[in-house]
Amino acid sequence: MSDNERMPEALGIGMVGYQFMGRAHSHAWRNVASVFPNAPAPRMVALAGRDEAAARSAAARLGWGEATTDWRSFLERTDVDVIDICVPGYAHAEIATAALEAGKHVLCEKPLANTLAEAQVMAEAADRAERAGVFSMIGFNYRRVPALELARRLIAEGAIGEVRHVRAAYLQDWGADEEIPLLWRFESEHAGSGALGDIGSHLIDITQQLVGQRISTVSGLTETFVTKRARTDGGGEGSVTVDDLAVFAVRLDAGATGNFEATRVASGRKNAMRVEVDGASGGLAFDLERLNELQIYDHDAAADRRGFRTILVTEESHPWLAAWWPPGHMLGWEHTFTHQAHDFLAAVGAGTRPQPGFADGLQVQAVLDAVQQSAVERRWCEVNDPANQKLEEEPA
């Protein structure tokens, strides 16, 4: 290997949290360098968690060098370059802003925060840090599904004509089980919202990414079906303070319309995310349960040959696929996090802004906020994106 082809320097990672998302991120950090050698390799320096014994066990199991109960220790460590935030939304703002101010790059799970005000603080901190060469990214991993990125490219190329309507649904059923106790995901002070923020944020981000438009107005409805659950400490029942379901209609800023459904009470649906885009000359359809496939419809096909055709998205020419297996060898959900890790590391290594950034997370938070407002006030509400307002206020 020549001097010009030397492996980029490694970046030390400190991860906060080790449950579901922590496991997914750990899998990506462990494997990304073996698949994508053209970016800085991650060094899994340390994992932070509140329970010392559990954190040590997780660190050993997931491949981290050590464990700590104090995430703030990462701020002073010279061997930690990146702080990866995989904890509930209520802690995002504190950790992210402290990390950025300490000169650490940040990868933060979605949604960006629990409130629009917290998200704005994070976006402003990210903007300040970027001027000093410190970068941040929000983890909307479905942007890294090869079939969805292919769909985005096809739409941008005009393959289905002008976009008219989007149908997007994210269906899960685990919230229908009334025996599940009052976990943090059911408490607004910890989660911000329920299905709306947890999985609806994915629908908002991927739709805007696909069609190249932003949601401008919304009309929403939220519902909580299981209103009481047993407290985890055995102290009787407590109130569920988030939604089980959110449905909302939208208008996007270039004139397209959409309808969205995010629910955790869809019986029999484990993790079903579906997106359809209708255009003037065709359509595209994606189903997460068939992650390696994209369906496309062409209005101009002969009448006796019309119908959705399926593209198997496993060719080397498809997004990210050249790094993986021969055509036809399927990828899975976990690979999206490997792609995400690669794109983040490559951007930081090149000194460029990773995508999506905290400003994108802030805009999604503004949509979530508008849906919640609409559900309460029972009217159409405008999306008040603080990032757009700032741009409008700044002199040319």
DSSP code of residue 221: E
Burial 99-113 (b: 16+ CB within 10 A, else e): bbebebbbbbbbbbb
The length of the chain is 396
Looking at the chain, the domain(s) classified CATH 3.40.50.720 span: 3-141
The SS3 call for residue 218 is strand
Cβ contact 58:24 at 8 Å: no
pTM for this model (two decimals): 0.95
Q: What integer is the mean pLDDT of 348-357?
A: 97
Q: How confident is the model at residue 3, as a pLDDT?
A: 39
pLDDT at position 9 = 84
In the chain, CATH 3.30.360.10 sits at 146-290+292-331
User: Residues of the chain with pLDDT > 70: what percent?
Assistant: 95
Question: Quick check: 1 pLDDT over 80?
Answer: no
Residue 12 predicted with pLDDT over 70: yes
Lowest mean pLDDT among 137-146, 283-292, 297-306: 297-306
Query: What does CATH list as the number for 146-290+292-331?
Result: 3.30.360.10
**Class level of CATH domain 3-141:** alpha beta
303 class by beta-carbon count within 10 Å (0-12 exposed, 13-18 middle, 19+ buried): exposed
Q: For the residues 286-290, what does the mean pLDDT come to?
A: 98
Q: Which residue's entry shows tokens 């190329």? A: 157
**Contact predicate 119/107, CB 8 Å:** no
